[in-house]
Structure 1
Amino acid sequence: MNKVFLFLLVSFFVVSCGTSHPVVRTTKPVAQTPKKPDPRKGTRPNAAPVKRNTTTVATTDKPSSTTSHSTSSSKATAPDNNASTAAVNQQPTEVLQATTTVKVTTAMVLAYIDKYKEIAKKDMVDYGIPASITLGQGILESGAGSGPLSTQANNHFGIKCHKEWTGPSVSYDDDTAGECFRKYSHPHESFKDHSMFLVSRERYAALFRLEQDDYKGWSRGLKAAGYATDPAYPTKLITLIEKYQLYRFDAEVLGKPVPQIIQSKDSIAIDKPTVFPVKTIGNQHVVTKGDTLFSIAKKYNMSVDDLKKKNNLTENAISIGQTLSVN
């Protein structure tokens, strides 16, 4: 009995050992397959694709980076322009003439006439100076109120200080450097002073012996008495008076019918701008129709940037009648 029990026990042990071997063998291949490649993982050259993907992402970023660089490159060219601008600025500037040409449109002249006609008529009654002459001289001397002497000093007739003047003044280069010109607080004062100026000076006395509606005689007499040095002054004044029919205000004051005057052939057509030489204060430019910052800068041998800086301009927009510093 004991032998039978011992035999069964040994048999059971043998069977148990036999069944455990496959389990061991099964475990080994599993262990060998995954564990051995571990060293290969570190040497795997194909780990680079991950890096390539990263590089690719970086590459896609480059165009925007390049674009940004291109933009900054285009901005970087600005200093070159400024350098050339600086070179231009170093060149000697053009000497500004005592007068500048102001283009005045018909609308501007008509507005000037409408604004000051009553003052001219009143001065004709008070002082005996034809209203046509007062208005004509105002238009001619001030560029219909757009010249710098009229806009900054309210001086519409280019009257200089002279010895008796004790009021405010402005100076600019005319016949000589730094001449003194009268400054008024209001244009009305300029008109009155113009009348007083003519009445109080002996050299103009002969004019007051003419008929009050003799605008041609007055125009020639003003030149002969030394009011203006331009040989064409009488012709310019007469042309203005006839072109805008300023003689009708003389007729209104005198209670006469308005004369029918045929405009001479040399007169400027009404729809074209009239060009007047007017006085400028210092080195300044009055903006006229057709002016641009480029054309003004070119005229005075300046750069546009320099012109804008001198006048505190942030934009390129300018308006007719605007005064710009160009020195």
Structure 2
Amino acid sequence: MRKTALLFLIAISFSACSAHKKVVHTNRPNYPSAAPVVSNTRAHDNNEKIKQQRQEPTGGFVTYTTQQYVDRFKAIAIQEMNLYGIPASITLAQGLFESGTGNGDLARYANNHFGIKCNSEWHGQSYFKDDDQVNDCFRVYNNPEESFRDHSEFLKRKRYAHLFELDKNDYQGWAQGLKDAGYATNPKYPQLIINIIQKYGLDVYDRPENEAQKVKREDRVLTEINENIGKATKDSIIGAAPVNKTYTVTTGDTLYNISRRFGLTVDDLKALNNMADNNIKIGQTLVIAR
């Protein structure tokens, strides 16, 4: 009888302990972290070291307004768009949102403008900040350009591949697609990004002057010259120069940046070349006009 009662008490104690175990729920799958948990002391000491390394000679940091941030990083966003096919408006809006207009701790001390966390592939410096968990580990970059490049590389993952099939100016599709692919868990994330783009007119940077536009501008200049001096017409001048209707793929080319260069859509370019997918290779000759 005593033995039975003892077993009963042990079972009750075990159940009570199990009921009070803490359950941890993660709700941000976009930047999985494989970094170990660190103590508050270690995190503080590490961050102080990073801050000392990054401290400006004047003892302070530039405080950006929204327009100053856009002016500072728009060229980088356009460069990443031409190399990777990500709309510059999306990159700028995400940078503004994630970095607190470049004024947040991660942007100032870690040059991290997109909140990218450490993982098993990261071997650089780290900055610790409470996020999904206490003292989450974030990547530290040598300069903002490295952060923008890492953001582009991150979006080249398979889960985001369908976004690169969207029209080059479809920033709304990109914003929604990022959410659908698990980039962010906030259900309002697409509208937040879209609102930033529309409020500050960031979509203008999705249409930078490309080679086709330069040709049109030069044609207009030629026409004005011909009209003013009464010499050969525009058609006779242009007719003397053969039109190159093909393009040879070089290092760093994508269907997206080639299509932008010649005023086409990706679908137009694929149709001209009877392509079933977006794969191209260096040295390949593409038809860019009929």
> How does the TM-score come out when normalised to structure 2?
0.50
Larger RCO: 1 or 2 (CA < 8 Å, sep 6+): 1
Greater gyration radius: 1
Instruction: Give the TM-score taking structure 1 as reference length.
Output: 0.44
* More helix by percentage: 1
